[in-house]
Amino acid sequence: MTRTLGKDLLGLEPLSTEQIRLILDTAEPFKEVSERQIKKVPALRGMMIANLFFEASTRTRISFEFAEKRLSADTVNVASTGSSVQKGETLVDTARNLEAMRINMVVIRHSASGAAHFLADRIQSNVINAGDGTHEHPTQGLLDLLTLRDHFRTLEGRRVCIVGDVLHSRVARSNIWGLTKMGVEVAVCGPRSLLPKDIGEFGVRVFKRIDEAIEWAEALNILRLQLERMQAGYIPSLREYNRVFGVTRERLDRADHPVLIMHPGPMNRGVEIDSDVADGEHSVILDQVTNGVAVRMAVLYLLAGGRPELADAAKGGSER
Amino acid sequence: MPAKNSVVLDARAVDRALKRMADEIIELHNGTEDLIVVGIQRRGVQLATRIVDAIREREKVDVPRGALDITLYRDDLQTVGPRPVVGPTDLPWNLEGKQVVIIDDVLYTGRTVRAALDELADFGRPARIALAVLVDRGGRELPIHADIVGKKIEVAPTDRVDVLVEELDGKDAVVVVPRDEGA
């Protein structure tokens, strides 16, 4: 059964290729909704969605909120500061209380890996993982796939290298799962100290030097150096990092082919990516942001209707 | 009730019906001024293109042809579930003051048209919206009627009426499919 996503979207690892394709294909027409004068369709009218953001986020939170509003859902935002979480309420209690107020869906961002899974097992509402610790960030992985597909038309056989802080990156994990399932050749490049020890098990190529990666890749997904997750000792200094792994115009010019530039944001300009690359002609960084809303609309839409038992029961009454 | 698939309109009959519908659209609107023809995804779009062609042949004017996917305006998402793929909506004009004609293949319960009217309202306020359908099979569940009908047929509620178009199905036809053979 691949026509639906099931109850939750927790990561790209559990999804099939067909399910990922379904989300990307569904996202396509949602792009047009954002171009309308009235950027709103009634598909999720009456649905209540709680956005639980227990970790700082601007882009993802706003993107989810726009997606929800463009589908006419009603939303509430809960942040850890200014809520009962500060009084020590547990995650499950917070969610159960929201359920008691008859919400239908929870979007959760949390610093603990597995937080979304934990919640999904304990409440009936649909749960969407908006980033859990260093585990997964599935909607980011999906919007990266959509952006790549927009640009290359097909994904199969393309070569994408993920650059930088793979160790701390849930974006990298979701990308690796999503890309490999869609038949993309994946590589990673970064300092040894910032690559997972078990990187070999992901079935990806590893480049030690950024110049080799640029030579090989058709697209670079440049990760943010997660300064807040690094207590100490991963890299000698930011300048040193930029000198060895920074993606610069000079390095890109040396390649004999154009390389598509992606970055999940927020960028550390002058560290992992130089400004003239981020703003350059091959950058699709802002397309990623635009696609983020469409992909999240698709996920919300599919999960909202994705109750197979209801779908089966109602089939007899469908018009055509 | 037909025992097996029965063709109620063949390719030539579909062509005649569409040409007549085009004539009636021109007549209804006293010409083609401010006219916009909007096909409902999926097969309404191909039919709308044919009607625009027929209008061009007769009146020597190009009437704009839009497309509307009403999936996101349906009222059955949580009972029927999401449709496989939502089609594109293409209405790049301001509809303010326009004469809009909605084209659909089959008029049945009227729910699709209800959704289409809701969606059109989000694109502006046309002076008038008319409805033209290739087949009216009866069975309305809402107070909706078509202004222009290609062919009115009577079929059992269990039967399915399929409109086939060359572009998607390889040929033009209207076919009644009994339930037990179908789906």
Domain assignments of chain B as residue spans, ordered by start: 6-181
Q: Which residue of B has its CA nearest to A304?
A: B78
Q: Which residues of A sit within 8 Å Cβ distance of B? A: 3-4, 22, 25-26, 28-30, 32-33, 36-38, 40-44, 71, 301-302, 304-308, 310-311, 313-315, 317-320
Asked if B162 and B177 touch (Cβ cutoff 8 Å), the reply is: yes
Distance CA A24, CA A1 (A): 17
Predicted ipTM beyond 0.85: no
Interface test with B, best of A126, A297, A320 (most B CBs within 10 A): A320
Distance CA B50, CA B65 (A): 10
CB nearest A304 (choices: B77, B112, B160): B77
Question: pLDDT tens digits for chain A (320 residues)?
Answer: 446 788 999 999 999 999 999 999 999 989 999 988 889 999 999 999 999 999 988 899 999 999 999 999 999 998 877 677 767 678 888 888 988 999 999 999 999 999 999 999 999 999 999 999 999 999 999 999 999 999 999 999 999 999 999 998 999 999 999 999 999 999 999 999 999 998 888 889 999 999 999 999 999 999 998 877 665 678 888 888 999 999 999 999 999 999 999 999 999 999 999 999 999 999 999 999 999 999 999 999 999 985 444 434 433 333 33
Asked if A305 and B74 touch (Cβ cutoff 8 Å), the reply is: no
pTM: 0.87
Partners of B140 on chain A (C-beta within 8 Å) are none
CB nearest B72 (choices: A37, A43, A315): A43
Is it true that domain B6-181 has CATH number 3.90.550.10?
no
Distance CA A133, CA A173 (A): 11
Distance from CA of B122 to the nearest CA of A (A): 6
Contact between chains at B79 and A317 (C-beta distance less than 8 A): yes
Partners of B108 on chain A (C-beta within 8 Å) are 319-320
Residues whose CB falls within 8 Å of the CB of residue A32, separated by 6 or more in sequence, listed in order: B88, B89, B90
Contact between chains at A40 and B122 (C-beta distance less than 8 A): yes
Q: Name the nearest CA neighbour of A147 among A306, A42, A16, A260.
A: A260
User: What structural domains and CATH numbers belong to chain A?
Assistant: 17-135+292-309 (3.40.50.1370), 138-288 (3.40.50.1370)
- If residue A310 lies in a helix (H) or strand (E), which one and from where to where? helix A308-314
Distance CA A186, CA A174 (A): 12
